[in-house]
């Protein structure tokens, strides 16, 4: 593809060439240069008829063409130029000599253009460099003055998206909803005939990595109508009014190609609540938002353009965006369920060679709370691990290594613990594992490891069950299992360490939610004060005043502390009842560093005493 030449660059080059020509060349190209001593000799010999004095140069004219020596050659010329004298040099006899020999003297003033170029050239060069880099930042020549033009990428008949709903695993309800949007645009008369109005906008809401953008690509592939894709941040610019202008341009272009779909990714970057943050009602972001509101459902009505938008922060969006008539529908794209994780894994495992021991069902059970992007990363990391080992197939061990790396970080083989520290870590993780297996409502152990990874010195993996609702019994057993690491240190190591820091953070956060959100405290059974665990939105949570008294705060703190104390005592009682299992599991961890969940259950079964107190009989008063 030929390179486009910037016309402004050509202008600068021409100006610079003219300046150099005037400075060093000028009319000298048509004259022969002679030395000052030769010039004086020509004057004394009466051969010079006229001289022109200008800008430190002497341009002379012979009375008749003369043959003069120039270097190693001889030239015939009727004019010549004298080499300029150094600054400050003067010859008092020069003028008298010219007059005595009848030489006509002409003084020519300095060229105005030369002086002007000397003055403006540095400024012109700076403007040229600024212009060049600014055009580069704006995407090339021709776009410098097009700040208000839409940056949306258009997909249509010539440029199509190949993704369809068949390429999207899971999200059955979301695909059905979006397929209706496609049908609205393909067969609008079917809905207009019965009196139904086509929805103006569909908002896709969900955590990062759940497939919101992928679903919109599938809509683009299925629609068969012009599809305009743009990120909300591309509306913003340093110049006031540019964002609103780009919104107008985008909708005008979509209407010219109607029926059409507009997709705005990361809507929350410009759709935040007005008046809630820094700046007044006239800043650039709010002007852009106002223009979007007007275009979607303002004075002019248009049903031939549907707007899709995606966000993972619906809580901070302006209420005017979410009302009927603008984003009529909200489609929640949540984290995939167990069955959906199996489908997603199978999609990303296509075209790869796997060993017979790879079980997709087991991988799906081991990856709760994983998004589609996380599952794709898991398969890719397992493939990379197999390639590092020069394996011909991806085996289950590669998936286990990839899962450890994703969840905990790289293995820290250079970190050397002392024997006392290693023993404390072994009993700490054994406490988590034994409590998780004995407590009836806790998630069961998948693997225990004391291999340092990332910031963790050890880990106990669990195989969680798929739960929609979490019971109070499950939460209490989970808290006891979480605090069992510190309880094991106190009972079997003889001292406590800093290794339980993260356990305390998790347990405290869960206990707060039990009291503040779920009404499971001793003093507050049917009230939710709100734990504010989400990210702070400037202008709301920071300025939010406390909505309960100091006495209520004291009772809330007491409830949280009571829940944590009961969980810790339960953990100590469970571990005390399984002392032999604790010692055996800790010894195996010190020997092999990794123990699988089946072996943990074998140890508990081999050491279980018939008279052991069952967890269901736990008495917090003991």
Annotated catalytic residues are: 429
Residue ranges of alpha helices (H) inside 75-164 are: 94-100, 112-137
**Sign of the dihedral through C-alpha 311, 313, 317, 321:** positive
Helix, strand, coil share of the chain (percent; to 5): 50, 15, 35
β-strands 260-265, 227-231 pairing: parallel
Bridge-partner residues for 329, per DSSP?
Answer: 202
Bridge-partner residues for 61, per DSSP?
Answer: 50, 79
- Burial (CB count <10 Å: 0-12, 13-18, 19+), residue 390: exposed
Closest Cα to residue 554, out of 582, 524, 514, 526? 524
**Sign of the dihedral through C-alpha 446, 451, 456, 457:** positive
518, 486 Cβ separation under 8 angstroms: no
Closest Cα to residue 364, out of 332, 342, 386, 334? 342
Bridge-partner residues for 32, per DSSP?
Answer: 80
Closest Cα to residue 233, out of 248, 244, 241, 243? 243
Closest Cα to residue 81, out of 56, 60, 54, 52? 60
> What are the φ/ψ torsions at residue 510 (nearest 5 degrees)?
-65, -40
Peptide bond into 259 cis (omega under 30): yes
β-strands 305-311, 260-265 pairing: parallel
Residues 6+ apart with CB under 8 A from 519: 525, 526, 527, 528
């Amino acid at each position: 593809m030929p390179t486009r030449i910037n016309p402004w660059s050509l202008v600068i080059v021409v100006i610079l060439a003219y300046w150099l020509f005037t400075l060093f060349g000028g009319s000298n190209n048509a004259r022969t240069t002679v030395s000052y001593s030769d010039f004086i000799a020509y004057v004394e010999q009466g051969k010079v008829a006229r001289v022109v004095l200008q800008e430190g140069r002497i341009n002379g004219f012979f009375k008749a063409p003369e043959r003069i020596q120039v270097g190693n050659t001889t030239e015939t010329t009727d004019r010549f130029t004298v080499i300029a004298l150094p600054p400050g040099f003067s010859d008092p006899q020069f003028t008298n000599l010219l007059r005595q020999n009848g030489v006509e003297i002409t003084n020519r003033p300095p060229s105005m253009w030369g002086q002007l170029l000397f003055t403006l050239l540095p400024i012109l060069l700076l403007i040229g460099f600024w212009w060049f880099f600014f055009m580069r930042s704006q995407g090339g020549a021709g776009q410098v003055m097009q700040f208000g033009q839409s940056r949306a990428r258009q997909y249509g008949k010539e440029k199509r998206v190949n993704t369809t709903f068949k390429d999207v695993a899971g999200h059955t309800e979301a695909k059905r909803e979006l397929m209706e949007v496609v049908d609205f645009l393909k067969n609008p008369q079917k809905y207009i005939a019965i009196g139904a109005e086509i929805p103006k906008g569909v908002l896709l809401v969900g955590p990062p990595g759940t497939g919101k953008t992928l679903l919109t690509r599938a809509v683009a592939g299925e629609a068969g109508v012009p599809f305009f894709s743009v990120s909300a941040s591309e509306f913003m610019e340093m110049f006031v009014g540019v964002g609103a202008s780009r919104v107008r341009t985008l909708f005008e272009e979509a209407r010219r190609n109607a029926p059409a779909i507009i997709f705005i990714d990361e809507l929350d970057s410009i759709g935040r609540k007005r008046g809630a943050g820094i700046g007044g009602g006239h800043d650039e972001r709010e002007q852009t938002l106002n223009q979007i509101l007007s275009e979607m459902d303002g004075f002019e009505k248009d049903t031939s353009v549907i707007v899709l938008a995606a966000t993972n922060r619906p809580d901070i969006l302006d209420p005017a965006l979410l009302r009927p008539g603008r984003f009529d529908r909200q489609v929640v794209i949540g984290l995939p369920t167990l069955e959906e994780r199996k489908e997603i894994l199978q999609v990303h495992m296509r075209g790869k060679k796997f060993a017979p021991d790879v079980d997709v069902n087991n991988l799906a059970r081991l990856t709760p709370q994983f998004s589609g992007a996380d599952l794709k990363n898991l398969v890719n990391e397992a493939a990379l691990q197999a390639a590092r080992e020069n394996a011909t197939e991806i085996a289950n061990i590669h998936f286990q290594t990839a899962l450890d790396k994703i969840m905990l970080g790289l293995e820290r083989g250079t970190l050397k613990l002392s024997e006392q520290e290693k023993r404390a870590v072994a009993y700490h993780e054994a406490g988590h594992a034994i409590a998780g297996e004995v407590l009836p409502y806790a998630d069961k152990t998948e693997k225990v490891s004391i291999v340092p990874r990332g910031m963790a010195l050890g880990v106990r993996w669990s195989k969680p069950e798929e739960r929609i609702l979490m019971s109070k019994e499950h939460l209490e057993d989970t808290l006891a299992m979480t605090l069992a690491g510190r309880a094991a240190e106190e009972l079997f190591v003889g001292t406590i360490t800093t290794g339980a820091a993260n356990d305390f953070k998790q347990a405290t956060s869960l206990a707060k939610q039990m009291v503040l959100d779920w009404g499971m405290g001793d003093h507050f059974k049917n009230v939710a004060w709100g734990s504010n665990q989400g990210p702070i939105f400037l202008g709301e949570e920071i300025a939010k005043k406390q909505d309960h008294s100091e006495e209520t705060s004291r009772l809330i703190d007491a409830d949280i502390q009571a829940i944590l104390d009961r969980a810790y005592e339960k953990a100590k009682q469970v571990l005390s009842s399984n002392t032999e299992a604790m010692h055996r599991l800790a010894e195996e961890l010190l020997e092999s560093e990794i123990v699988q969940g089946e072996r943990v259950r074998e140890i508990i079964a081999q050491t279980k005493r018939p008279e052991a107190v069952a967890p269901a009989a736990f008495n917090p008063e003991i």
